[in-house]
């Protein structure tokens, strides 16, 4: 039901409307005098989000209720979700609070998201708080979370976001994951556009180790500089349950590319590693190194590995390769000869 008052090009007023369906209810009063002059409010209660999955690309479930208030060219929204499911994200309770959002210009206002117990894949969140606000140039963000991901974790970060192209500037990052303290030492950024990718100044302490990466990729050039000392190997298996790693490694990578050439080196020292396959309690203890040099359309590689019970392997290879920036690809020609030797004891 509703009362409608329409004056062409001047006024659209909908009073006391009340829409009821099998998934919920929407009610309120709205008065519109042009696109930037809207007054009124709407309350909504969606008791079952699952049917909306059929008209969206999302897998939805749960209940959401809240209010939207319009005042001129801005609106505010407060909503509460219970037993929410959005694809692989699950939350027992989540609060959404948006204020001073501009109806015609989405780059304005503030957004706050607070969640109690939640899950994303194998990550269990105890608490989750995210704030974002427009600062006339970018979105400022702040995130705090605690939970369990192969052990208790906590993380706190803040910075800026922009979207044309997408760029994240991280001003601070700290926390603890897998029992190791993580600290970002300087402002860092990540940018990706249609023809550009860039990582700048990512320099992190992770437990007793250190990791840094700088990289860019565009149509004219590419570069990757990455260094790590005493980097904890268990971070490499956060996304898999098939095996676990314990130990540390040292890494030195320096690669540079032009439209048709790639040159540089890739060196890894496996200081110590315990590899534990899923379902096993006896680790495979290993150490070794990998050295690779790229130049003149050739990859030269040498590696050696020592494992439990004095098992030993050594491999040396010379492999032709082809490199292109636009489109980006690295290939190994099938018909070109490969030379090398391999020793396994």
Q: What is the pLDDT of residue 239?
A: 60
In angstroms, what CA-CA distances link 300 with 227, 252, 267, 297? 20, 16, 12, 10
Return d(Cα 240, Cα 234) in angstroms, integer: 11
pLDDT at 78: 95
Are the beta carbons of 155 and 137 closer than 8 angstroms? no
* Of the listed ranges 54-63, 98-107, 164-173, 285-294, the one predicted with least confidence: 98-107
Closest CA to 341 of 308, 294, 304, 289: 304
Q: How confident is the model at residue 171 (pLDDT cuts 50, 70, 90)?
A: very high
Q: Would you say residue 185 has pLDDT above 90?
A: yes
Strand bridging mode 188-192 / 166-177: antiparallel
The larger pLDDT score, comparing residue 163 to residue 35, is at: 163
Q: Are residues 173 and 182 in contact, defined by beta-carbon separation less than 8 angstroms?
A: yes
According to DSSP, residue 129 is labeled E
Cα–Cα distances in angstroms (integers) from residue 53 to residues 59, 88, 143, 262, in the given order:
5, 13, 28, 46
DSSP string covering 185-230:
-S-EEEEE-SS-EEEEEEEEEETTEEEEEEEEE-SS-EEEEEEEEE
- Residue 106: predicted pLDDT: 62
Distances (CA, A) of 176 to 89, 145, 182, 250, 285: 22, 11, 6, 21, 26
Model confidence, pTM: 0.81
101-148 per-position pLDDT tens digit: 877 766 678 989 999 899 998 889 999 999 999 877 789 999 999 999
Burial state string for 38-48 with b = 16 or more CB within 10 A and e = fewer than 16: bebebebebee
* Residue 92: pLDDT band with limits 50, 70, 90: very high
Query: Among 55-69, 91-105, 215-229, which stretch is predicted with the lowest mean pLDDT?
Result: 91-105
Question: Each residue of 158-174: b (16+ CB within 10 Å) or e?
Answer: ebbeeeeeebbbbbebe
Measured in whole angstroms, the distance separating CA 39 from the mean position of its chain's CA atoms is 38
Contact call for residues 299 and 291 (beta carbons, < 8 A): no
Instruction: Tell me: pLDDT of 181 over 90.
Output: yes
């Amino acid at each position: 039901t509703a009362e409608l008052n329409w004056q062409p090009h001047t006024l659209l007023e909908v009073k006391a409307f009340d829409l009821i369906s099998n998934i919920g209810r929407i009610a309120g009063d709205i008065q519109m005098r042009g696109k930037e002059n809207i007054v009124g409010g709407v309350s909504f209660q969606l008791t079952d989000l699952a049917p909306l999955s059929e008209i969206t690309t999302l897998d939805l479930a749960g209940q959401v209720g809240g209010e939207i208030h319009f005042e001129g060219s801005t609106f505010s929204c407060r909503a509460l979700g219970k037993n929410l499911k959005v694809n692989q994200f699950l939350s027992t309770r989540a609060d959404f609070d948006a204020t001073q959002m501009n109806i015609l210009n989405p780059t304005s206002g503030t957004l706050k998201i607070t969640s109690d117990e939640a899950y994303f894949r194998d990550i269990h969140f105890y608490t989750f708080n995210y704030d974002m606000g427009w600062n006339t140039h970018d979105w400022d963000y702040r995130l705090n979370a605690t939970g369990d991901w192969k052990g208790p974790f906590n993380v706190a970060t803040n910075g800026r976001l922009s979207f044309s192209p997408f760029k994240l500037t991280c001003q601070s990052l700290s926390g603890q994951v897998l029992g190791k303290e993580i600290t970002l030492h300087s402002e860092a950024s990540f940018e990706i556009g249609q023809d550009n990718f860039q990582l700048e100044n990512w320099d992190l302490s992770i437990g007793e180790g250190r990791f840094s990466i700088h990289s860019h990729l565009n149509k004219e050039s590419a570069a990757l500089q990455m260094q790590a000392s005493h980097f904890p190997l268990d971070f490499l298996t956060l996304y898999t349950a098939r095996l676990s790693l314990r130990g540390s490694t040292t890494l030195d990578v320096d690669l540079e590319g032009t439209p048709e050439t790639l040159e540089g080196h890739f060196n890894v020292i496996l200081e110590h590693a315990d590899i534990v396959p899923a379902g096993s309690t006896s680790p495979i203890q290993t150490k070794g190194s990998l050295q690779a040099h790229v130049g003149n359309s050739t990859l030269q590689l040498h590696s050696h590995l020592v494992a439990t019970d004095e098992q030993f392997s050594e491999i040396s290879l010379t492999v032709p390769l082809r490199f292109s920036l636009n489109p980006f690809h690295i290939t190994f020609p099938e018909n070109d000869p490969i030379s090398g030797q391999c020793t396994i004891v």
